[in-house]
Amino acid sequence: MIQTDIIIIGAGPTGLFTVFEAGLLKLRCHIIDALPQPGGQLAELYPKKPIFDIPGYPSVGAGELVDNLMEQIKQFEPGFSLNEVASTIDKQDDETFIVTTNRGTQIQGKAVAIAGGLGSFEPRKPLIDRIEQFEENGVEYFVRDPELFRDQKIVIAGGGDSALDWAIFLADVASDVTLIHRRNEFRGALDSVEKVKVLKDQGKINLITPAEVVGIVGESKVEGLEIEKDGEKFIIETDSFIPLFGLSPKLGPIANWGLEIEKNAIKVNNALDYQTNIEGIYAIGDINTYPGKLKLILCGFHEATLMCQSIYNRLNPGKKFVLKYTTVSGIDGFDGTRKEAEKAVVQSID
């Protein structure tokens, strides 16, 4: 059985940053994630997309942010159980927890931090006959590696940010990009809509609206798509079909752990430490809910920081913690042993 201080469920940006904040407090972490690599939705859904609201970065690629977080926490040597789902959680008589995964891995920790983003998720699939047989044979619900579509003819279906952003990005990768939406109006950012219109005028994107993909042409691999527009049907050739209709978030096994759930999210006490109704189990990031909740990465970072302080105090009752700024103490100085001169910027927390 794996032993640790904090069991983190979810290897997205909030879960990864938890390792850093816990490490400053000399708390060990082990992360469980259903995906085969760290990064959560950033790595799985849009690794090449830029993010604009991370402090200090006017723009940072989602994949780059994940790489930086992994580099930041490397010094604290967290454990990982990837490609595994946290199935059950059992609170022990000594107030520790044992989390068991779908593969039988057991991790025992003194606290649990659920940082599972939207929970487990699956793509919303269009109602097209035989679509399942073409999955990974020309039908892709995510763009994990844009280079897979290099010099291909591709069709993207959808009207939201993902469909617009990937159409724009892949216009410089694929040999031919067609964007299909069942309405003339798009739901994505206005800036993205304008970029698509410009690329259409430049001949870099074929835009077909209002229209729907109603059939797939091919035997073992996608060779073309049947399109319906204005009551008429026609076929276009394509190498890949990418329907981007969003995700269906599900809490998965977490829903059966006795936690208080509201609208598919875990209720927490945001006035103090983001603890759930079960003492010792916390929820941070997009998976939690409380009055005024904002689902932003930087909010998840803030929640992770306060949660780690709470866990430290819970595990060390009565022990005085000295909080120092990393600009003065560095990473190794968080044990209160550095120079006397540093006391000028020390805050005592009882």
* pLDDT bucket at 171, cuts 50 / 70 / 90: very high
Give the pLDDT mean for 194-215.
96
Same domain flag for 260 and 229 = no
Task: State the helix-helix crossing angle for 190-201 and 161-170, rounded to 10 degrees.
Answer: 40
Q: What is the CATH number of the domain that holds 100?
A: 3.50.50.60
Instruction: Decide if 214 is inside a domain.
Output: yes
pLDDT on residue 118: 65
Tell me how crowded residue 85 is: count the other CB atoms within 10 A of its CB: 16
Distance CA 276, CA 326 (A): 29
What is the secondary structure of 146-166 as a DSSP string? GGGGTT-EEEEE-SSHHHHHH
- Residues 132 and 143 both lie in one domain: yes
Please check whether residue 194 lies inside any domain of the structure. yes
Cβ–Cβ under 8 Å, residues 169 and 146: yes
pLDDT one-digit tens code per residue, 260-283: 999 889 999 998 899 999 999 999
Please state which of the ranges 81-85, 212-216, 248-252 shows the lowest mean pLDDT: 248-252
111 shares its domain with 132? no
Domain range spanning residue 305?
Answer: 2-121+248-319
CB 177 within 8 A of CB 195: no
Tell whether 151 and 166 lie within a shared domain: yes
Q: Do 95 and 188 share a domain, yes or no?
A: no
Query: 140 and 96, same structural domain?
Result: no
Residue 217 has pLDDT above 60, yes or no: yes
Q: Domain tally for the chain?
A: 2
- pLDDT over 80 at 327, yes or no: no
Residue 79 confidence (pLDDT) above 60: yes
Give the burial class of 129: count Cβ atoms within 10 A of its Cβ; 0-12 exposed, 13-18 middle, 19 or more buried: exposed
Q: How confident is the model at residue 37 (pLDDT cuts 50, 70, 90)?
A: confident
CA distances from 282 to 3, 270, 340 (A): 18, 10, 36
**Domain-embedded: residue 328:** no
SS3 state of residue 193: helix
pLDDT value at residue 342: 38
Same domain, 130 and 241: yes
> For residue 335, is it within any domain?
no
Instruction: State whether 111 and 18 are in the same domain.
Output: yes
Is 155 found in the same domain as 102?
no
